[in-house]
């Protein structure tokens, strides 16, 4: 029971503190709550010599909420469904191109560098949201922890450097930046876009959902063709 409470309380308190810092900084991208909270938890576990398995006894209960939370993102999509339908063709085209580029570029470079099968599987599903990516990795006999790490760092990287790229490229439209962030950085990027605007968050939710579906269909086909 003590281990369960430790994992739960540590995770909740770390995220609350990280969210407070994020808001106080004016939502500075490099202080993303997920990144800061994760760093805090790692430091505390190391300082207090707490085994990760012991921490996970409590923290894994929070991870069970990830699936329902992802499904709940359908609500903002519904709120903007009228405008989304008008842009459905360019949205689908951008989805297919960006998803294929993400898979081919990362997997291709890793394959040329001699990466083994487990790494290739993890990289191929890294742009999908965590529940979908883990199920795909499991069905393809991939390494679950490795896949989870790829998915996590993909989301964090996109959520932290994405806003700087949008500013550098002068991308101001909420639908464009939201869709791009959702496709590439799944739920972490989507949560960051809701801080920008509800419209950006809605399109990020759409991009994350469609990319998850596209990845779940395409990756198994490519796997059985090339492996």
Tens of pLDDT, residue by residue over 79-126, are 878 888 888 888 889 888 888 888 888 888 888 888 888 888 888 888
The pTM for the full model equals 0.83
pLDDT tier at 5 (50, 70, 90 boundaries)? low
Pick from 4-8, 36-40, 53-57 the range whose average pLDDT is largest: 36-40
SS (H, E, C) the chain: CHHHHHHHHHHHHHHHHHHHHHHHCCCCHHHCHHHHHHHHHHHHHHHCCCCHHHHHHHHHHHHCCHHHHHHHCHHHHHHCHHHHHHCHHHHHHHHHHHHHHHHHHHHHHHHHCCCCHHHHHHHHCCCCCHHHHHHHHHHCCCCHHHHHHHHHHHHHHHHHHHHHHHHHCCCCCHHHHHHHHHHHHHHHHHHHHHHHCHHHHHHHHHHHHHHHHHHHHHHHHHHHHHC
160-196 pLDDT, tens digit per residue, is 898 899 989 998 889 889 999 988 888 888 888 888 8
152-166 pLDDT, tens digit per residue, is 888 898 888 988 999
Q: Where are the domains of the chain?
A: 1-64, 72-226
């Amino acid at each position: 029971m003590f281990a369960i409470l430790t994992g739960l309380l540590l995770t909740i308190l770390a995220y609350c503190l990280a969210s407070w810092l994020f808001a106080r900084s004016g939502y500075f991208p490099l202080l993303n709550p997920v990144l800061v909270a994760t760093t805090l938890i790692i430091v505390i576990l190391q300082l207090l010599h707490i085994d990760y398995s012991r921490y996970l006894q409590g923290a894994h209960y929070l991870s069970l909420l990830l699936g329902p939370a992802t499904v709940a993102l359908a609500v903002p999509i519904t709120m903007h469904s009228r405008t989304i339908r008008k842009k459905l063709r360019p949205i689908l085209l951008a989805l297919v191109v960006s998803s294929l580029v993400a898979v081919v570029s990362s997997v291709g470079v890793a394959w040329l560098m001699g990466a083994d099968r487990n790494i290739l599987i993890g990289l191929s599903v890294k742009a999908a949201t965590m529940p979908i990516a883990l199920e795909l990795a499991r069905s393809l006999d991939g390494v679950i922890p490795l896949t989870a790490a790829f998915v996590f760092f993909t989301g964090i990287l996109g959520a932290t450097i994405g806003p700087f790229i949008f500013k550098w490229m002068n991308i101001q439209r909420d639908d464009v930046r939201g869709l791009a962030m959702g496709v590439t950085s799944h739920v972490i990027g989507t949560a960051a876009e809701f801080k920008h605007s509800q419209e950006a968050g809605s399109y990020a939710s759409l991009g994350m959902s469609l990319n998850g579906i596209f990845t779940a269909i395409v990756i198994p086909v490519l796997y059985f063709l090339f492996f």
